[in-house]
């Protein structure tokens, strides 16, 4: 995920504004840290990071002049879309970024995390597959 955050930063670093040289340096560091934390969260917490492009843009937009805002938004959306595709590709393979197998996203009756491996193309194991169906129905109701 390092390559995605650095790619965003490299494209946007020249547009960062600051009152003086020290302020400019600090603002560039903040933009880089924001990009890296957003990509890290996207990699580790994909299902609970609803709108990563919007979140990242809202976090870094204060460091850019108004005339650059549209460019910043398009750059962020493009790179986040590529990162989401990369994360989803790895999730379909059934492993996390550190090489360990994926775990079910459900919790047991005791409140501990389920340790079973999810079904291919799903985030739940066979025992908790009904949770995904309930989530899809709730999303359809909200959309209607």
Asked if residue 26 has pLDDT above 90, the reply is yes
Mean pLDDT over the full length of the chain: 83
127: DSSP letter: G
The string of pLDDT tens digits covering residues 74-125 is 999 999 999 988 887 776 666 665 556 677 778 788 888 888 877 776 777 8
In this prediction, residue 127 carries a pLDDT of 80
Number of H helices, E strands in the chain: 5, 0
**b/e per residue, 87-109, with b = 16+ CB within 10 A?**
beeebeeeeeeeeeebebbbeee
> Cβ of 10: how many Cβ atoms within 10 Å?
12
| Beta bridge mates, 95 | 101
Q: Is 66 helix (H, G, I), strand (E, B) or coil?
A: helix
More confident residue, 2 or 99: 2
- State how far the Cα of 54 lies from the Cα of 65, in Å rounded to an integer: 18
In this prediction, residue 143 carries a pLDDT of 66
CA triplet 98, 101, 103: central angle to 5 degrees?
A: 115
Asked if residue 7 has pLDDT above 80, the reply is yes
Asked if residue 66 has pLDDT above 80, the reply is yes
- State how far the Cα of 54 lies from the Cα of 38, in Å rounded to an integer: 10
How confident is residue 43, by pLDDT bands cut at 50, 70 and 90?
confident
């Amino acid at each position: 995920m390092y390559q995605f955050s650095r790619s965003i930063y490299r494209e946007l670093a020249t547009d960062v504004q600051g009152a003086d040289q020290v302020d400019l340096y600090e603002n560039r560091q903040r933009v880089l840290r924001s990009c890296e934390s957003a990509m890290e969260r996207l990699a580790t917490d994909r299902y609970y990071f609803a709108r990563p492009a919007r979140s990242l843009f809202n976090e870094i937009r204060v460091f850019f002049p108004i005339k650059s805002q549209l460019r910043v938004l398009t750059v962020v959306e493009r790179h986040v879309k590529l990162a989401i595709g990369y994360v989803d590709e790895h999730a379909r393979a059934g492993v996390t970024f550190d090489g360990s197998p994926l775990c079910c996203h459900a919790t047991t009756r005791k409140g501990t995390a389920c340790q079973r491996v999810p079904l291919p193309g799903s985030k739940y194991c066979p025992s908790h597959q009904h949770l995904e169906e309930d989530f899809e129905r709730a999303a359809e109701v909200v959309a209607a």
